[in-house]
Structure 1
Amino acid sequence: MEQTPKKKGLWKNGLLVVLILVAIISIISSIGDPKEIFNKIAESNKLYLSVAVILAVIYTLIMSLSNQIVLRSLDKKLSYLDGMLIFETEYFFNAITPFSSGAQPFQAYMFIKKEVDAKNVTSILVVNFILYQTTLILMLISAMIFFGNRIINALGSSSVYILIGFIINIVILVFLFLVSYVKGFSKVIKKVFSWIAKIKKLEPKMTELTLKTDDFVLKYQESVKILFNRKTVFIKSFILKAIALSIQFGIPVIIAYALGQKIVFNDIIYITLITSLSVTAMIWIPLPGASGGTEWAFAALMAPIFVNQKDLVLAILLLWRFITYYFPLMLGFIAYLWSRKRTDKQQHLEESIIEKDI
């Protein structure tokens, strides 16, 4: 990755996220009673809310640690702090880009700036994504198996949107496995580039990518093979991701407790799984954080638990979205600034040493 990420684009996307937040609050206020919703939030148990916020921090740290395990298996030169900071930026970049697609390109750029081998960077990011995607799909399948009828009853004909999201997630995972393991898959990629190259403006870039494809895929598959042969790395990272996601998707239960609700064990499992479903299955919504679709799915699937308590569901929704989306976004932004400062300081130090030698 040769170009520096554009600050202008970051600020534009950040502004879009803020506007979406304002729009969501406005829509929620029009659906329910704004006064009642915010009264419930104001009267909530602050200890439980503090626990929810702490769990959100723990979730991001465990997820970054799981990514770090894969990183350290290929590159031990980068410090733990630098690795953790770069992985923590995921919650900022994914939150401000459509389809949650922004983190990997920025992280790749930041790792390369830290002199991590470009071939390894791609493998590290993709393998971590494969493990993450696999964990999410297993949670989706669990939701369908254990609560399929309940989900269909809650969503009715709109269940088709969940099915679309499920299929998209499966397709993404299958594609990544094909790129990682099928030797001749580079030919398929080159055919896609050739097809896109029919657009004249894109032809030079597609030609350039076509020439690089064979070498890139070969080196990438070699690195991936090394990683997946290290079963301990694979298992540790997978288990930590499963723990992190269970914490993240279980946070609405703590929020419900904060709002004075008692949840039976079966509903704790249901809430955790339908929260994962709301986030994952609505990935195809082309807005940062899949905003709109995620909130709709979450509220619709929570409604059967809290019958005739619309304002309560909307209060849980607002608190959940802030604690698990906007709060990690802020943490990711802090990590980005901290990482960039450390990189600039390191480069300045290296330049000073070179000048002294001259």
Structure 2
Amino acid sequence: MASKKKKLINTLFLVIVFALTLYSVFKGEDLHAVLRAIMKVNPLYLLPAVAGVIVFIWGESIIIHYMLGTLKIHTKKWTCFQYSCVGFFFSAITPSASGGQPMQIYYMRKNEIPVPVSTLVLMIVTITYKSVLVVIGLFVAFFQRGFVHKYLEGILPIFYLGVALNVGCCIAMSILAFHPALAKEIMMRCLKILERLHIMKHKPERTEKLAASMDQYNATAAYLRSHVKVIINVLVITFFQRFALFFVTWFVYRAFGLHGAHIYDIVMLQAVVSVSVDMLPLPGGMGISENLFLVIFRGIFKAGLLLPAMVLSRGIAYYVQLLLSAGMTLFTHLTIGFKEQKKGTSYTVPGTKVGKTGVSP
């Protein structure tokens, strides 16, 4: 019942945000003029834009496949693509992208990937994912002052807030990922607090399972710390993945037959939008992303083309991604979701002396 209520609240929140977004963006605008402008674009430039979205999703799946492979867990690339689609779909429809990783862990567990391992792998994915935004944000803030004054004067508070939130998030997750002893202590204390508040009943077996899971987490983290090259490779792939999505706006710009604006400015402005909204508690940055686009791209797109460009850019980068990942999530649920879970799946981290049973808490 609680789960259904939560789903209902999330759905209602998503619908309200979407409705407010439409109202704030299209209020007083000529929708027919917007549609006419969109119908005139060169569709050949939209194909690489859509391809950029696919590369963005596929990029995460390559990272998941690569990291699991370094841990001697062999999975198909197609299966990892399914995990990625699940993550992007639930991240797109939940506040602060909070629903993506729990659902990825759920389906990975169905395929007998231990929860502590999948949790740590996805945490590294998130750390590198946000680290790219942090690097971009700090680079723009400290080394691109002319760029900031030219394009970002109207959104500086939101931009700096986005940079600060991403920096804080990366620091917190890095502590959990690379200081597993601290992570274990935090988890055990949280369990005790929940038991004292009578939110959860005290069960010795639950405590033992949680301790075993965190030991597995510890061993996996130790393996990754000793393989710095793995993290570097993941970071490189993540840069490529993220910029594949940022280039969508450049292809939209060219689709309208526009010239003159430098590709660097367009791609970096789209990156600034992502930095600014990534940590805000809105599904997919809905509402704020559209309005930021209309502010900072005002000097890029000609009069009458700004709103159509936003609709097309945002439509491809977010809504095409949402529809694609939604279809794949349904397929994943039908192919993986009904598998029976095996309890006590064993797993030993390569290169460590610790071999713990991967049991979820």
Could you say which TM-score interval applies, normalised by the shorter chain? 0.7 to 0.9
CA distance in 2, matches of 1:124, 1:191: 21
Asked if 1:93 corresponds to 2:83, the answer is no
How far off is 1:256 after superposition?
Answer: 0.8
Asked if 1:81 corresponds to 2:75, the answer is no
Asked if 1:252 corresponds to 2:245, the answer is no
CA distance in 1, matches of 2:130, 2:165: 11
CA distance in 2, matches of 1:346, 1:141: 44
TM-score normalised by the chain length of structure 2: 0.81
Aligned match for 2:268, one of 273, 280, 283: 273
How far off is 1:128 after superposition?
Answer: 1.2
Which segment is superposed worse, 179-188 or 323-332? 179-188
Report SS of the residue matched to 2:93: coil
Do 2:92 and 2:284's aligned partners in 1 also have CA atoms closer than 8 Å? yes
CA distance in 2, matches of 1:236, 1:7: 40
How far off is 1:91 after superposition?
Answer: 1.7
Q: Deviations over 1:145-196 (max 9, x none)?
A: 4433433454436411211111111111001111123365248736983897
Aligned match for 2:259, one of 258, 262, 275: 262
Q: Counterpart of 1:294 in structure 2: which amino acid? A: S
Aligned match for 2:278, one of 277, 283, 290: 283
Asked if 1:333 corresponds to 2:326, the answer is yes
CA distance in 2, matches of 1:196, 1:234: 34
Aligned match for 2:130, one of 107, 116, 133: 133
Q: Pairwise mapping of residues 300-319 of structure 1 onto structure 2 (< 5 A)? A: 300-306=295-301, 309=303, 311-319=304-312
CA distance in 2, matches of 1:257, 1:11: 41
Give the share of equivalent positions with the same residue, in percent: 22
Do 2:180 and 2:217's aligned partners in 1 also have CA atoms closer than 8 Å? no
Which segment is superposed worse, 6-15 or 230-239? 6-15
Tell me the C-alpha RMSD between the 2 structures.
Answer: 3.4
CA distance in 1, matches of 2:164, 2:243: 22
Report SS of the residue matched to 2:73: coil
In the other structure, the counterpart of 2:289 is 294
Q: Deviations over 1:217-237 (max 9, x none)?
A: 443232122124224432332
How far off is 1:197 after superposition?
Answer: 5.3
Q: Deviations over 1:224-253 (max 9, x none)?
A: 221242244323322221111111011101
Do 2:61 and 2:77's aligned partners in 1 also have CA atoms closer than 8 Å? no
Tell me the number of residue pairs that the alignment of Structure 1 and Structure 2 aligns: 340
Aligned match for 2:45, one of 45, 48, 51: 48
Report SS of the residue matched to 1:131: helix
**Measured at CA, do residues 345 and 306 of structure 1 come closer, stay the same or move farther in structure 2, by a change above 3 Å?**
closer
CA distance in 2, matches of 1:327, 1:11: 24
CA distance in 2, matches of 1:187, 1:223: 13
Q: Pairwise mapping of residues 216-255 of structure 1 onto structure 2 (< 5 A)? A: 216-255=213-252
CA distance in 2, matches of 1:166, 1:204: 40
How far off is 1:279 after superposition?
Answer: 1.7
Q: Counterpart of 1:302 in structure 2: which amino acid? A: F
Q: Deviations over 1:52-100 (max 9, x none)?
A: 1122222221232122211222243433322221122122111000001
Report SS of the residue matched to 1:337: helix
Aligned match for 2:160, one of 138, 158, 163: 163
Aligned match for 1:72, one of 69, 73, 92: 69
CA distance in 2, matches of 1:184, 1:86: 28
CA distance in 2, matches of 1:195, 1:152: 51
Which segment is superposed worse, 53-62 or 225-234? 225-234
CA distance in 2, matches of 1:69, 1:216: 22
Q: Counterpart of 1:276 in structure 2: which amino acid? A: A
How far off is 1:6 after superposition?
Answer: 5.6
TM-score normalised by the chain length of structure 1: 0.82
Do 2:90 and 2:99's aligned partners in 1 also have CA atoms closer than 8 Å? yes
